[in-house]
Structure 1
Amino acid sequence: MSLINPLSSQSPLSSDKQSGQITPQSNSRSSAVTESTGNPFLDSIRLPEESTIPEANNQELTQDDFFSLLSQQLSMQDPFKPVDNDQMIAQMASFSTVDGIGKLNEEIVNLNAVMTSSQALQASGLVGQKVLIPSDTGHISAEDPHLKGIISTPEAIDDITVRIEDEKGQLIKTFTVDGSAGGNIDVSWDGLDKDGEPVASGNYSIKASGKVDGKSEDLAVSTYAHVTSVSLGTASTGAILNLRGIGGIKIGDVLAVSET
């Protein structure tokens, strides 16, 4: 017995008597032919005309996925060689450990955010005070016309030469301080140039040098800066102190705090 398509009796081609050419016959049921052949067997094996693309899903395995895989493993195991109980327990313990580590990481992130906020709240008490920073540059303004700092010396030095320079590196004033005590030596500049005139507002640097073992060497200088505000920062940086005319500095880089 052969399969006969009911629609096959209609010829798809028609003859053009005038031109002698054979052209496809226009049929209002041509769209129906593309949708169905009229044969249930052929229709069942036809490929779909439109392919559906599945939506992207989360590739992360969850605990439900793990137990599904474990169930599949148990159902497909050899009944003569079943999975060892110790091995199964080890797999479950490993997954529980990984899941616990993921939750612990989330808690640590939340804890860092809380600690950062708490640190910024504590650092807000420094607003209005001066902090010692590891920089030889300080700011002179009408509100604070003086510049103070600390010179660190490896040993006792009789005379320490101090040079005040502006942002362009030009020399503003030179004076000496006593370093016979050694260690950290306080230094203060009144904000006056070599002619005794007040300098313009801006950033100025304190450069210090002295003789160490008979040779002239540059000495490390730290300056005091005025804290104007505190920024929250991030978990890696912590609270940021905003200094007048200087910019921001990590609270962990502060060397000391001064009342004035």
Structure 2
Amino acid sequence: MAITSVSNTVTQSDNDFVYNPNSQLDKDAFMQLFLKELEMQDPTDPMDTDKMLEQTAYLSTMEMNQNMQTTLDNLSKTLQTNSELGAISAIGKIGDTGYRYINVTDDDNSVSFDLYFGDDISSGKVEIKDKNGNVVRTFPLEAHTKGVLNFDWDLTNDAGERVPSDTYEVTATYTSPDGSEHTTALGAYPIESIKFENGEPYAKLGSNYLPFSEIKEIYEWQG
């Protein structure tokens, strides 16, 4: 009586069977069938040794596969937890997307952007440059406490003319009350909070939430 295929029943006792609609045979059910087979074999015609070894090897393989799957599941959960903890630990640090530009199209009438100032501002200026590095618009900075400041650009240059549709780089230089000079640029902001959507972390940078995958660098503000 060799076990050659998986049936839709699993023996629990001599007169008791459990229906298995998906024809799935786990290692415990296989062991029950194997032991039942040994119990019911003809003493005068015992199971062939090769078949016994084949079935015990099959049982061992099933157990190894189950243990491996359990290990992989645990590893996946651990990695996800570590990823979430890593994202949360970034709160308070600077998240830098590495992208310093704003896009201007023919349909735009104005553009808003945020800049982060890690030190109090005594004076300074924001410069918007074209792709050739020419300054097209300058915003003077007045005294202000450190933090994220929002700017509205009406898409005109310093002469009052509408700029062409293109990409423009945004940077700022400023002096803090102690006289030290600093620079900042578009795309670098403190990570204020983290939220998760469908398991993916999003970081609040400036006034927007961005996928964590879009952050190129995370670092402490050095001033």
**TM-score category, normalised to shorter length:** 0.3 to 0.5
Please report the TM-score for the alignment, with normalisation by the length of structure 1.
0.40
Please report the TM-score for the alignment, with normalisation by the length of structure 2.
0.45
* Structure number, greater radius of gyration: 1
